[in-house]
Every structure is written in structure tokens, then in C-alpha cells.
Amino acid sequence: MDIQKYWEEKHKKYGTADWIDKPSLFAEFAVKYFPKQGKLLDLGAGQGQDSRYFASKGYEVTSTDLCGQALKISETKTKQEKLHINFKELDLSKGILPYENESFNVVYASLSLHYFDDEITEKIFSEINRVLTSDGVVAMLLNNIYDPKTKYLTKKSEGLFVNEEGVLRRFFSLSYLEDKVKQKFDVLVMDDKGEALLKDDPINLIRFIGRKK
């Protein structure tokens, strides 16, 4: 399938949502663990509500996404809000971050790291570790393996599913996540107390905030 077209269609729908210009609950929670200033890399930033929130807090933000259309929307809103953000179209499925070692004080990824198999997931986590400064912080919000939507997806392997459009979807368990991060980051937060996936549903998203080892 054409993954670019898939995300363009998604962002058309997102553009009418009431949350699209509000910082996420996770962004407001995670920023408390960030250094007071510095360079921040937002992976899979979409239309950039969290990128703009961090820029308004004084961070030097690089906002990335696979969907160029979403970045253009974010760029327009950034100018309207008189903020400064660097924008870059970036395909995370390559497993490579095109930045030098220790380029960022913070790497932030809200609901953008759950589209990859084990190999690419491992590469992305290693790349995040590489581009962080020695005391850098990573913040990730991830799908939970207990998400009831998995019942309607096709299972490929443990935690990995495919939706009807053929898009891979990773659903994390705390144990799987711990195995991926334990050699790379000291844990500051790792729990399943993120935003609820569905209204009045007890299953929440997984939050991870860590400091580079």
C-alpha cells in the first residue's frame, strides 16, 4: 500500500479533531522530566501540537514526520504562533536517525514508535540512545498489548499485528519494553497510566521516560 497516502488521509481526519491544536496530556506530563532548556527531537510529530508546545517552552525543536502534508500544516501554525521550529520529513521505518551523535537533549515520541517489527524497533531505540547527549532524556508514549482493538487485527507474532490496510501495528507489554530499554536508559517512568485508549475504558497507554545511561 501507499503509506504516504494512508497518512495523508489520516491527517485529513485529524485536522477536524478538537484535540489537534492542544498539547497532549503526555507532553504536559513528560516536560517535567526534561532539562530546562536544550535541543528536542520530536519523532512522528504529525501536525505538531506537541512540537509547538515544547517550542513555546523555549526548547529548540526539530519536528519530524513521514507525512510532509502534516509538517506543512504544522509549519503554517508555527508561523501564526510566532514560534521557531525546524521541520524534516523522516521515515522511521529505515531505522536510522540522520543526526550526529549526542545532537539532542531530549527525544520525544508520542504514539509514533509502534509501526515496526522487532529489528526496526531495536534499531530505532539504539538510534535514540545514540543521538541523545550524555544526560539526555527520552519520552515515549506507546500502544498497550491489552488494547481491545487487537481483537480486530491480524496477528503476525507476539505483540505485532496488521490492520485491514496492511499497516503493521506494534502493541507493547511492559516486559517487552523493559527488555528493549534496560541496556540503554535509566528508567524515570515506566507504567501503563497514560491516556485511556477509549472513553471509559480501563486500558491505558504505556508511558516511558528514561535518561541515557
pLDDT, tens digit, for every residue of 73-83?
999 999 999 99
Interval 93-122 mean pLDDT: 96
Residue 134 has pLDDT above 80, yes or no: yes
Residue 3 has pLDDT above 90, yes or no: no
Q: Domains (ranges, CATH) in the chain?
A: 3-14+22-212 (3.40.50.150)
Residues with Cβ within 8 Å of residue 195, at least 6 apart in sequence? 24, 25, 26, 141, 204, 205
- Residue 10's pLDDT band (cuts 50, 70, 90): low
The pLDDT of residue 6 = 61
The pLDDT of residue 14 = 65
Q: For the chain, percent helix, then strand, then coil, each to nearest 5?
A: 35, 30, 40
Interval 169-186 mean pLDDT: 95
pTM: 0.92
The pLDDT of residue 1 = 54
Q: Which of 70, 146, 164 is nearest to 112 (CA)?
A: 70
Quote the strand ranges of the chain, DSSP E.
39-42, 60-65, 85-89, 104-110, 132-142, 154-157, 160-162, 168-170, 185-191, 206-212
Interval 41-56 mean pLDDT: 96
